[in-house]
Structure 1
Amino acid sequence: MKLSAVAIDDEPLALEIIKQYCTQINEIDLTQTFDNAVAGLDYINRHRPSLLFIDIDMPDINGIDLVNQLQSRPMIIFTTAYKEFALEGFELEAIDYLLKPFSFDRFEKAFQKALSRYQIGNTADELEPFFVYSEYRMIKIDFRDIVYIESLDDYIKIHLSNSKPVMTLMSLKKIALKLSPKKFIRVHRSYIVATDHLASLSGRKSGFLQGWSFL
């Protein structure tokens, strides 16, 4: 099993080190590297890798801002020379935070954390149902029944294939953390859709898909 990975850093030497380290780990497939963060953002939104190595302090866009703009967030390992960004990095539920210069052993340790998370998530592709509080009771939601999820201020509405929608007090960002990036995609600031139920996607505007239709 290989994890598809992308690296973004404005320093060519830093990218070269990551490339070298990745060649020493059989489970990594480093598909692309970018010294231009905007180009990297577009690639990730189109190809949805499993893992992202990303610097934070970059000239065109801050790494943390970039992660916040991703439609479907991969696992994140921050690679940076500035330890003061660590708290913000971990608030984004990053797998790890590598402070430059980092050794191969430290890099491999971070990757093994990502691999463990991936294996757990992959097992969870047949994800266990979860419960939400709605209409004064706990309601069980099966991931396979979700067609799309709509954000309504502080609430989300979970649209299901086999029953009426369920509304619960939760943010779209929080529910996204429960979802497999292989099964769900954020097509708009207010919508996450299940790829199994999608018939088509079209257009982009400000990093989001403009149109979609269901099977």
Structure 2
Amino acid sequence: MIRCITIDDEPLALIQLTGYIEKVPFLKLVKACNSALEALDLLAKDPVDLIFADINMPDLNGVDFVKSLVNKPIIIFTTAYTEYAIEGFRVNALDYLLKPFGYNEFLKAANKALHQYELQAKIQQHPLPASPEVPAENGNNNLFIKADYKMIRLDMNKIIYMESQNEYIRIFFEDQKPVMTLLSMKKLEERLPAERFMRVHRSYIVNLEKITAVANNRIIYGKDTYIPIGNQYKDKFNEYLEKHYLGKL
């Protein structure tokens, strides 16, 4: 059972979320909070597994609320403002529900949370050692990591980007489902070939060869994958662009 809370300053939105949660057998609502401050008080005493949080709230907005959490549960943002989507991804939210959303959309997000919850539970029950990697030398395009209780060979040619999720790394590919492993971003960054992979954010390492476009301080892959460029990594990434592209940035 996934223990969750909802946070929204709109009473009707809380009522809707409560109704949806009651329909999902693997969700248990701990409390419906009408502010992020109320949620902070609750979490200090009673941690939960999942939070459904509005973003545009008085006193403390949803993004700043998530940033303030030391031990982050699974986060699903609910908001009426599309411009907050990138902010949600920057704090590693699992999903983003745009108001008004129906039960089917809510259920899809809840199922994603269930998958994440079960994966984290397996890893906690059977902790994995730090993953050994094989550096790319002499034309070697493979890495080995430990995931799903076995050693998995990864083809670096097919990696799109890597995302840090607390002490775990989720690796995204062109033609297969993401995999998750216990590994630090620093160690991964050290072992990847620098001419092909670059850390562009505290939570993201990207494959430079797979970039589709760059716009509004974001790296774009395909049609709907956007990776934010962190301020401390911006100069290094701009140097890469200046070196490889015609014209001025």
Please, what TM-score do these two structures have when normalized by structure 2?
A: 0.53
State the structure with more CA Rg. 2
The Cα RMSD (Å) is: 2.0
In the TM superposition, what whole-angstrom CA distance separates every residue of 1:91-127 from its partner, at most 9, and x where no partner exists?
2111100000000000000000000001111110112
Correspondence 1:23-172 to 2 at 5 A: 23-125=22-124, 126-131=126-131
Question: Which structure shows the higher strand fraction?
Answer: 1
The answer to whether the 8 A contact 1:45-1:71 is kept is no
Instruction: Note the residue ranges of structure 2 that are not aligned, 5 or more in a row.
Output: 134-163, 170-249
The answer to whether the 8 A contact 2:92-2:165 is kept is no
**Could you tell me how far apart the structure 2 residues matched to 1:88 and 1:127 are?**
31
Q: Which moved more, 1:36-45 or 1:92-101?
A: 36-45
**3-state SS of 2:115 partner:** helix
The answer to whether the 8 A contact 1:75-1:94 is kept is yes
The answer to whether the 8 A contact 1:5-1:50 is kept is yes
Deviation at 1:130, TM superposition (A): 1.3
Correspondence 1:182-201 to 2 at 5 A: none
1:4 aligned partner, one-letter code: R
2:127 aligned partner, one-letter code: L
Percent identity, aligned pairs only?
39
List structure 1 segments (4+ residues) > 6 angstroms apart after TM superposition: none
**CA 1:67–1:123 in 2, change beyond 3 Å: closer, same or farther?**
same
The answer to whether the 8 A contact 1:45-1:72 is kept is no
**CA 1:132–1:56 in 2, change beyond 3 Å: closer, same or farther?**
farther
The answer to whether the 8 A contact 1:45-1:70 is kept is no
Larger RCO, structure (CA 8 Å, separation 6 or more): 1
1:130 aligned partner, one-letter code: A
**Could you tell me how far apart the structure 2 residues matched to 1:105 and 1:86 are?**
20
The answer to whether the 8 A contact 1:6-1:51 is kept is yes
In the TM superposition, what whole-angstrom CA distance separates every residue of 1:43-101 from its partner, at most 9, and x where no partner exists?
12321100000000001101000001112100000000001000110121111000000
Please, what TM-score do these two structures have when normalized by structure 1?
A: 0.61
**CA 1:46–1:178 in 2, change beyond 3 Å: closer, same or farther?**
farther
Instruction: Note the residue ranges of structure 1 that are not aligned, 5 or more in a row.
Output: 134-173, 180-215
**Could you tell me how far apart the structure 2 residues matched to 1:178 and 1:49 are?**
19
The answer to whether the 8 A contact 2:8-2:34 is kept is yes
